[in-house]
């Protein structure tokens, strides 16, 4: 099992959240959205220019800018 940044996953790939950077500017909001340790997150698709990225986590779908995916580490 490899720990990788969420930003490196491609559509169709998924992983479990391992960590969320303490200095992430959206940390509180991401935690509220379910980005907690062990949560399964799947990359659904990326916009044609690569930004934003649609994710599925905890039964919810959301879109995040690519820059906001940095600081989130997942285990595949």
Give the 3-state DSSP-derived string for the chain, with helices as H, strands as E and coil as C: CCEEEHHHCCCCCEEEEEEECCCCCCHHHHHHCCCCCCCEEEEEEECCCCCCEEEEECCEEEEECHHHHCCEEEEC
CA contacts within 13 A on the Cβ side of 28 = 0
Question: What pLDDT shows up at residue 69?
Answer: 93
Question: What pLDDT shows up at residue 50?
Answer: 79
Question: Sorting pLDDT into bands at 50, 70 and 90, what band is 1?
Answer: confident
Q: How many residues does the structure list for the chain? A: 76
In the chain, what percentage of residues exceed pLDDT 70? 100
Average pLDDT over residues 36-49: 95
């Amino acid at each position: 099992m490899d720990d990788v940044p969420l930003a490196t996953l491609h559509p169709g790939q998924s992983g479990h959240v391992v960590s969320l950077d303490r200095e992430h500017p959206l940390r509180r909001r991401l935690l509220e959205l379910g980005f907690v340790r062990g949560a399964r997150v799947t990359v659904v698709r990326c916009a044609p220019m690569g930004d934003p990225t649609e994710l599925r986590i905890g039964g919810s779908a959301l879109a995040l800018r690519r820059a906001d995916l940095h600081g989130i580490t997942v285990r595949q």
